């Protein structure tokens, strides 16, 4: 079975209507998860924990989409 890695991360944004972080050095890395369901649970816990802070937002990044296992070199490997 193919592993579908997901990264959950978040932090304070410059504005609630944008996705630009105020300080990238303070991004909170929640963790890497082997499937979407476990990533979603982690995302939901962090989102609920920070619900009163409109400037704080958490995201799920689909890490497995960065790599195409069918190709000898994925687009990110070609960047170098």
Q: Where are the domains of the chain?
A: 6-79
Chain-centroid distance, C-alpha 15: 18
Q: Which burial class, exposed, middle or buried, applies to 6 when counting CB atoms under 10 A from its CB (0-12, 13-18, 19+)? A: buried
Predicted pLDDT of residue 80: 46
Q: How many residues does the chain have?
A: 80
* pLDDT tens digit sequence for 13-67: 999 999 999 999 999 999 999 999 999 999 999 999 999 999 999 999 999 887 6
Topology given in CATH for the domain delimited by 6-79:
Alpha-Beta Plaits (3.30.70)
What is the β-pairing status of strands 28-33 and 56-62?
unpaired
pTM, two decimals, is 0.78
């Amino acid at each position: 079975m193919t592993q579908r890695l997901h990264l959950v991360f978040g932090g304070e944004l410059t504005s609630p209507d944008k996705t630009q972080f105020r300080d990238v050095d303070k991004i909170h890395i929640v963790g890497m998860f082997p499937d979407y369901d476990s990533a979603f649970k982690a995302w939901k816990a962090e989102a609920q924990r920070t619900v009163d802070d409109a400037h704080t937002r958490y995201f799920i990044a689909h890490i497995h989409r960065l790599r195409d296992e069918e190709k000898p070199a994925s687009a990110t490997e070609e960047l170098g």
